[in-house]
Amino acid sequence: MMSVVAQAGRPLLSNDSIGAIADIARSTGDAERAFAAVGIKLERRPATQHEGRLIVPSTPSHVSRTLRNLDLGDPQVVSAVLRATAALAEIYELAPSANKSRLVRLRHCLAADGFPLDSIGDPLAAIRALGAVAGAVLLDASAIRVELARLERSLDDDPSLAIGKAKNLIEATAKAVLAQKGQPVGSNLIVPTLVKGAMEALGVHPNQADAVKSPLIRVILDDLQDIALKIGTLRNKAGDGHGGLTAVTGIEARDSRLAVRAAIAWCAYMLDSLGETTGPLPAGHSDGSD
């Protein structure tokens, strides 16, 4: 189970989102199961006496207490909360007495925090979630936010452009990691050099993995690095950024979405690793969003 700690970093979920999540929790048993499935223990408020009457707290009050006592500045904790929330929303939606306006409010509140309650695998949801993670772990996430905004605009309308922006996202993430780790970031570094340097700076390059203790992790890291490199190669052949003798053909929207998801997988792992090595950012820091 995740430990309950005081909030150390800037919360990624607002009070509005906390309230909206609590409002869809109808059954304490369902809430306990949903949170337990993601490693969170539901904290029950104790019953109290008032003027001789026993007052039993409601399920929403248990959920609200639980969420407010979690470190909602930790992207991993927030990710777990969102998975539990998706389960609670599904249960609530199927209830005959469900108030649809509560689900609408929940979606709006989470979307305002950068966490649309969309279907698993939706690349737009992944794009927005990565932006929130970047803001939580980077001293300056402005370059990544720019690339994410460009990705979102081009995802379905221009597959070739989306592939180019997926490669740019990898570059921006690698440079942000190197800069925050105090490593030099030259303007003429190519993708393979940036990817290798950023992974080495975080100690997650395949050559740094323990081949005896964690052989499969080393293989996965090698595959993850290869994915990042192949996005760069795909961009050179089918993405925007280079003028060609003939128009690019054979690239469909599903291909660009695959490239975007693959790029996000590498970037998310890098930002998660950076967060683990540097710890929470100091309160009041600017992440470049001002």
What's 248's domain CATH number?
Answer: 1.20.120
Q: Which of 251, 204, 238, 250 is nearest to 223 (CA)?
A: 204
Place of tokens 């649809």: 100
* pLDDT at residue 90, rounded to an integer: 83
* pLDDT at residue 5, rounded to an integer: 39
Whether residue 96 sits in one domain with residue 134: no
The residue with greater pLDDT, 158 or 269, is 269
Cβ–Cβ < 8 Å for 30, 91: yes
The secondary structure element, H or E, covering residue 16 is helix 15-23
pLDDT of 49 higher than 80? no
- What average pLDDT does this structure show over 11-23? 93
Cβ–Cβ < 8 Å for 200, 171: no
pLDDT in tens, 166-214: 999 999 999 999 999 999 887 777 899 999 999 999 999 999 988 667 7
* pLDDT at residue 244, rounded to an integer: 43
Give the residue numbers spanning the domain of 89. 15-112
The residue with greater pLDDT, 278 or 261, is 261
- Would 1 be classed as within a structural domain? no
Tell me if residue 42 falls in helix, strand or coil. Answer: coil
First to last CA, the chain: 36
Euclidean distance between CA atoms 29 and 132, whole angstroms: 31
Query: How confident is the prediction for the chain on average, in pLDDT?
Result: 81
Percent of the chain scoring above 90 in pLDDT: 34
The last residue of one of the domains, among 79, 112, 145, is 112
The residue with greater pLDDT, 1 or 263, is 263
Could you tell me the pLDDT band of residue 140, with boundaries at 50, 70 and 90? confident
Whether residue 157 sits in one domain with residue 207: yes
Distances (CA, A) of 11 to 68, 103, 179, 182: 10, 22, 24, 26
* pLDDT at residue 179, rounded to an integer: 93
- What average pLDDT does this structure show over 122-144? 80
* pLDDT at residue 4, rounded to an integer: 38
pTM recorded for the entire structure? 0.58
Whether residue 127 sits in one domain with residue 80: no
Tell me if residue 49 falls in helix, strand or coil. Answer: strand
Whether residue 133 sits in one domain with residue 185: yes
User: How many domains is the chain built from?
Assistant: 2
Euclidean distance between CA atoms 43 and 1, whole angstroms: 12
The secondary structure element, H or E, covering residue 54 is strand 53-55
Euclidean distance between CA atoms 92 and 210, whole angstroms: 45
Euclidean distance between CA atoms 147 and 151, whole angstroms: 6
Q: Which of 134, 125, 131 is nearest to 82 (CA)?
A: 125
Name the residue type at position 99: N
Whether residue 31 sits in one domain with residue 101: yes
* pLDDT at residue 212, rounded to an integer: 66
* pLDDT at residue 229, rounded to an integer: 94
Could you tell me the pLDDT band of residue 245, with boundaries at 50, 70 and 90? very low
